[in-house]
Amino acid sequence: MAAVLAASAAVEISDVLNRSRASAERAVAALGAGRAIGNPAEFCDADFWLISTLDGAIESAAGNLAAARPDLSGRVVFHLSGRFGPEVLEAAAVAGAETAAVHPVRSMSKLSTDPAAFSGTLCVAEGSRAALDALKPPFEAAGASWREVHGLQRGLYHAALAIISNVTKGVIWKAQNWLERAGLDAGTAADASHSLLSITTEDVFRDGVRHSITGPVVRGDTSTIEAHLDALEALGRDDVEVYRVLARTVLELANERGDLDDAVLERFEILLRGAQDPGN
């Protein structure tokens, strides 16, 4: 994020503090800007303070900052985590800072080498009015699509985004594994999954999830689902349960749309209940 903001000329990088001075020096070299320091006592004054630690370290980092600079009046302290809101910056707020949580809804790994890839990224922002007003211009200058929220249920919010980003990748990996077990070589399995994923994404972008969902569940084709489960039995119970969990999610969507009658829903419930079925 520092690379993105610096590349847009929206901010000037000042001090960089990592868990070790050597790490901070590597970060400064990568940024081509800033000064590596070894502890919070070395900080120069700044308008903005970005805390981009692991989620569990944000609160203690804010405490360390406030201890080193007990008067943060007129300054903005913010973090990038989707898991927490501005409440984990309470120590900085007590020291007078305006605080905010700004969550870029994307994978950040590519941005240090390609800051321009940030353009169009949705940034979900929550915090004090003064902090949001101060942060919006530099983020928009960097290409952010700025969206302010209040009282977000962070656990549910972050779980939803983790499903889309990380769990999707896990599902693709699992599907590629099944394709290889079915007889495709690894390259063909990857090509098949990537091609279908690209088409599926286009469908979702064009028509939305509810209108683009297809397949045997939506068609009420219980015999095909039963065949899938029979084939997966050879791979083991874990693979069967992965399929059942995902298929039940599709079934929930099909039911919400009103695609299936009661008799078909009952048959699907029996097929997809799996280990939860007392008769199993």
Pairing of strands 15-17, 35-37: parallel
Over 50: is that where the pLDDT of 276 sits?
no
- What would the two tokens of residue 178 be? 């099944």
Question: Are 118 and 144 spatial neighbours (Cβ–Cβ below 8 Å)?
Answer: yes
pLDDT attached to residue 111:
79
Average pLDDT score over residue span 238-255: 92
Over 60: is that where the pLDDT of 280 sits?
no
Q: pLDDT digit string (tens) for 164-179?
A: 988 999 999 999 999 9
Q: Which residue has the higher pLDDT, 166 or 109?
A: 166
DSSP state of 44: P
- Rounded distance between C-alpha atoms, residue 75 and residue 61, angstroms: 16
Q: Please state whether 120 falls in left (phi above 0), alpha (psi between -120 and 50) or beta.
A: left
Q: Domains, the chain, ranges and CATH?
A: 2-152 (3.40.50.720), 156-276 (1.10.1040)
pLDDT attached to residue 277:
44
Burial of 55 (0-12, 13-18, 19+ CB in 10 A): middle
Burial of 85 (0-12, 13-18, 19+ CB in 10 A): buried
Residue 211 is which amino acid? H
| Mean pLDDT rounded to a whole number for the chain | 92
pLDDT attached to residue 206:
94
Q: pLDDT digit string (tens) for 173-209?
A: 999 999 999 999 999 999 999 999 999 999 999 999 9
Residue 274's pLDDT band (cuts 50, 70, 90): low
Q: pLDDT digit string (tens) for 54-73?
A: 999 999 999 999 999 999 99
pLDDT attached to residue 25:
97
Q: Which residues contact 195 (CB under 8 A, 6 or more apart)?
A: none
